[in-house]
Chains A and B, each alone.
Chain A
Amino acid sequence: MIMLAELKERLQAGSAEEYLSRLFEKIEKSSLNAFTTLARESALKHAREFDRKPSQGLLAGVPIAIKECISTKGIETNCSSRILRGYVPPYDAHVIERLKAEGAIIMGKTNMDEFAMGTSTETSCFGPTKNPWDLARVPGGSSGGSAACVAADEAPCALGSDTGGSVRCPASFCGIVGLKPTYGLVSRFGLVAYANSLEQIGPLTHTVEDTALLMEIISGHDWRDSTSAEKGSYLPGLKDGVSGLKIGIPKEYFGEAVGEGVDGRVESAVWDAVHTLESLGATWQEVSLPHTKFALAAYYVIAMSEASSNLARFDGLRYGLRQGEDKDWHTTFSEIRALGFGPEVKRRLLLGTYALSAGYYGRYYLKALKVRTLIKDDFLRAFKDVDLLASPTMPIPAFRIGERINDPLSLYMADVFTVPINLAGVPAISVPCGFAGHLPVGLQLMGPHFGEATVLRAAHAYEAATPFHEAKPEVV
């Protein structure tokens, strides 16, 4: 593991091309299936240019892996879906423009659940990505490729997207850091939409400082995203410690309170973390987020409804999959969609279409929006008393590939601690806080809207006091 600031210095002195070539070699031999497309040629060309004439920039010469659903000019962007195979965007997402402006090198695209619909990266048309800590297990999802490649040192950092936990879940399962920013802090321009009102692009890195550095680059207002906001400042106060911080422990996120309950080993790792923070000068108190039990249902209704509309554009007419002979319009696009989407995507599109239909809109979508408001109010109320909230990121450690994929409800249940954050629009980070057996466990720290600086500061203080982020998986 190497921190980005240090890597940058080393590259200035050494060779970006050499470093990048070594990464590509490692990826070639890897059994993780973390990458879908390697932008070998353009990345090496960029690296050679950098070696010839080192540029400045916050990430000058540093390679970065990008989740499949973030548009990259000239590099295929297919959301790990058959229906988008062959689609090469003519433009860069805002975050890609920002990264390039700071000298970063786009090394390739990473595997994900098809259209980000999943918690395990098993629904990808490229097959599942494996967890570097245990190749029989999932890396989490939907940004599983981005998390796995960073954890296995196939890339020094990556971007993912988080609609209901898709950055934090794989960060937790793979033992790295992942942040879901406040809704609006990072422009979604160029992010292929799954559920627009919920999702944000976020960094996946080895350390909190690296995440703060990436946030300095990718956050901030972009006129092309009407929901985007001004950025804050993340690196300067990062090391100011947690002395005096009040941390809330939402009682609904522990024990048997929700869903299938929390794995005992996960719960004890998280409590240890809370006590570590206490020893560093923070205080903690129990708080209540009473509407937590309605969050999963509301989340899935909203996400699926929005998805049913967002994915309507994939009809094979202008880009992506086109198969066989054209028939009449209705038959042709129906056949392409039947062929192009996998079963989980179809399930969500059908449910979302149903939830928005005449006569059901009020019963499902509108009701879900009301629940969303209640959940947001829960958080606003809690943040009147405390600065941060702490919980497990996932109630369980990484499960086995194939273990839950045929039981969608049990998969959905795993998102129980991550989805409320997206519904409320607040920021949350997952940092490594120990192990359940040989599998990493993640601590989730949540802050108020635009409270990233505080979230990062606490996460950094915790990280500095613990060794978990330094642990390495043994990958073949």
Chain B
Amino acid sequence: MEDVIIGLEIHVQLNRLQSKLFCGCSTQYHNSEPNTHTCPVCLGLPGSLPVLNRKAVEYGIKVGLALNCRIEEETLFYRKNYYYPDLPKGFQISQYDFPLATKGHILIKGEDGIERNIRITRAHMEEDPGRLVHAGTIDKAKYTMVDYNRCGMPLLEVVTEPDLRSPKEARSFLDKLKSILEYLDVFDGSLEGSMRVDANISLRGGDRTEVKNISGFKGVEKALSYEITRQKNLRRRNIKVVQETRHFDELRSVTVSIRSKEEAHDYRYFPEPDLVPMHIADWVPAIKATLPELPDAKRERFVKEYGLADDHAKSLTSEIKVANFYEAVAAEAAPRLAAVWIADVLKGELNFRDLGIDAFRAEHMVEIVKLLSSGAITEDGAVAIIRTLLDKGGSPQEIIKSRGLGKAEDDAVQKAVREAVAENAAAIADYRAGSERALNFIVGQVMKKTHGKADPGEVHKMVKAEVEKV
């Protein structure tokens, strides 16, 4: 793995903004008919002029600060010139020299399990182009349709240094970035196409290829894995990797060449004359003051404040919603027990069902943790309650009642123990002859009689004591 070098360019839609980057059109186009969220400005009609959405710049600065970047004193927009049907002006308003933010870093867990910083080269703002819908695959389509609803959506492009060493590391970088963006409340990752990735991949000493426009984190892992295998195979056969741009075909999970180095665009960048440079240094202190606690800081605090294991703290802080959920529960019930049950059980059950934390109510978790602490329900019972709540709804008390999940009464257990010992003389003989397993068999019988509601540890002790008596 050591010889793989990966750098990422991530296009993030700042889709928590109300309006597009240079016009008043709404950003909430996801469930709309094509070409209904447009105006002369985002359609690039002759004579229209861009007007900068200042809030978008604020959001951009927020992200820059959260990625530990240096914020430029003065920033400006450039035109990136190229012809494409999804680009109605024939250029994209982007940034070039003096981007919003430079030289940052974020912490991820590496392939080797050790945490380290991945350097961020820059983060700059630009407008999203429209969306092309091909009738069929990109190389065989008879015609293509264009939807300009997405055109002018505020994008932040985050560029990393080539610091990533495996597809898995790339994945964990993206997870961390997404986590930070959601903490900042500038980004909703659940919307289609909200994060798109270009990846640069090379084997040490070889030329690099760029795989463009991969959507979805799984897609990134797959595309990178394919590309690494392809490059390694070439190297094995002593064939040089050609520097080129490749497209990731999601259906076939392969990358295909779309452009060689010679065909590379000359974007003819020059400063956008219709917008004025922005002196943003003055904005920074106020924006800094509004920055929320970020994942790493929260994780540290969870360890200190609630006495959590680092793994639990990390798991609980990766998503802002989960972290908030946890804190709501921890305020009412035993924090360490709550951490275990949320991080180890609830998250697993949610993942299994492809649900978010919103699908579970914090007060239900409070109740479950309280019942567990008081010994009123068993761990198996708690798991059953969680599953039932997710699958059928209701409340913990109702489920306990209807499914008889309350811990069995002591004398009922005592009775079952006496019965089991009396009924299994042979097993007792084996136990006395030195077989521990024989005792476990009797414990099992007790559990059967109590329908699993007894505490197996307790039962074990009681059986042992009963056997001594006999």
Binding site for B on A (CB under 8 A): 69-71, 77, 79, 84, 87, 89-91, 93, 188-193, 196-197, 223-227, 305-306, 308-309, 311-315, 317-319, 326, 329-330, 333, 353, 356-358, 361, 365
Q: B270 touches which one: A89, A191, A329, A361 (CB < 8 A)?
A: A361
Q: Nearest residue in B to A332 (C-beta to C-beta)? A: B85
**Are A87 and B268 in contact (CB-based, < 8 A)?**
no
**Are B268 and A313 in contact (CB-based, < 8 A)?**
no
Q: A226 touches which one: B51, B81, B144, B146 (CB < 8 A)?
A: B51
Cα A190 to Cα B49 in complex, Å, equals 8
Binding site for A on B (CB under 8 A): 40, 43-52, 79, 81, 83-85, 88-91, 143-144, 146, 266, 268-270, 273-276
Shortest Cβ distance from A448 into chain B, in angstroms? 20
**30 pairs across A/B with beta carbons < 8 Å?**
A69-B47, A71-B47, A77-B47, A87-B46, A89-B46, A89-B47, A90-B40, A91-B40, A93-B47, A188-B49, A190-B47, A190-B48, A193-B47, A193-B274, A226-B49, A227-B273, A227-B274, A306-B270, A309-B91, A312-B81, A312-B91, A313-B46, A317-B88, A318-B43, A330-B83, A333-B83, A356-B81, A356-B270, A358-B266, A365-B270
A317-B90 contact given A196-B273, A353-B268, CB 8 Å threshold: no
**Are A226 and B47 in contact (CB-based, < 8 A)?**
no
A226-B89 contact given A190-B47, A305-B270, A358-B266, CB 8 Å threshold: no
Q: Nearest residue in B to A87 (C-beta to C-beta)? A: B46
Cα A314 to Cα B90 in complex, Å, equals 8
Residues of chain B within 8 A (CB-CB) of A319 are 45
Residues of chain B within 8 A (CB-CB) of A193 are 46-47, 274
**Are A191 and B47 in contact (CB-based, < 8 A)?**
yes
Q: A309 touches which one: B48, B84, B90, B276 (CB < 8 A)?
A: B90
Residues of chain B within 8 A (CB-CB) of A189 are 47-49
Residues of chain B within 8 A (CB-CB) of A84 are 46
Shortest Cβ distance from B382 into chain A, in angstroms? 59
Q: Nearest residue in B to A354 (C-beta to C-beta)? A: B268
Cα A311 to Cα B266 in complex, Å, equals 17
Residues of chain A within 8 A (CB-CB) of B276 are 226-227
**Are B45 and A90 in contact (CB-based, < 8 A)?**
yes
Q: B89 touches which one: A77, A93, A313, A361 (CB < 8 A)?
A: A313
- Interface core residue of B85, B266, B268 (most chain A CB under 10 Å): B268
A309-B268 contact given A87-B46, A192-B46, A317-B85, CB 8 Å threshold: yes
**Are A313 and B47 in contact (CB-based, < 8 A)?**
no
Cα A189 to Cα B46 in complex, Å, equals 10
Q: Nearest residue in A to B267 (C-beta to C-beta)? A: A358
**Are B270 and A309 in contact (CB-based, < 8 A)?**
yes
**Are B52 and A226 in contact (CB-based, < 8 A)?**
yes
Shortest Cβ distance from A124 into chain B, in angstroms? 17
**Are A309 and B49 in contact (CB-based, < 8 A)?**
no
Shortest Cβ distance from A320 into chain B, in angstroms? 9
**Are A197 and B88 in contact (CB-based, < 8 A)?**
no
**Are B83 and A312 in contact (CB-based, < 8 A)?**
yes
**Are B268 and A357 in contact (CB-based, < 8 A)?**
yes
Q: Nearest residue in A to B43 (C-beta to C-beta)? A: A318
Residues of chain B within 8 A (CB-CB) of A317 are 85, 88, 146
Residues of chain A within 8 A (CB-CB) of B88 are 313, 317-318
Residues of chain A within 8 A (CB-CB) of B91 are 309, 312
Cα A223 to Cα B146 in complex, Å, equals 30
Q: B49 touches which one: A69, A87, A224 (CB < 8 A)?
A: A224
Q: Nearest residue in A to B276 (C-beta to C-beta)? A: A226
Residues of chain A within 8 A (CB-CB) of B274 are 188, 193, 196, 225-227
Residues of chain A within 8 A (CB-CB) of B85 are 315, 317, 329
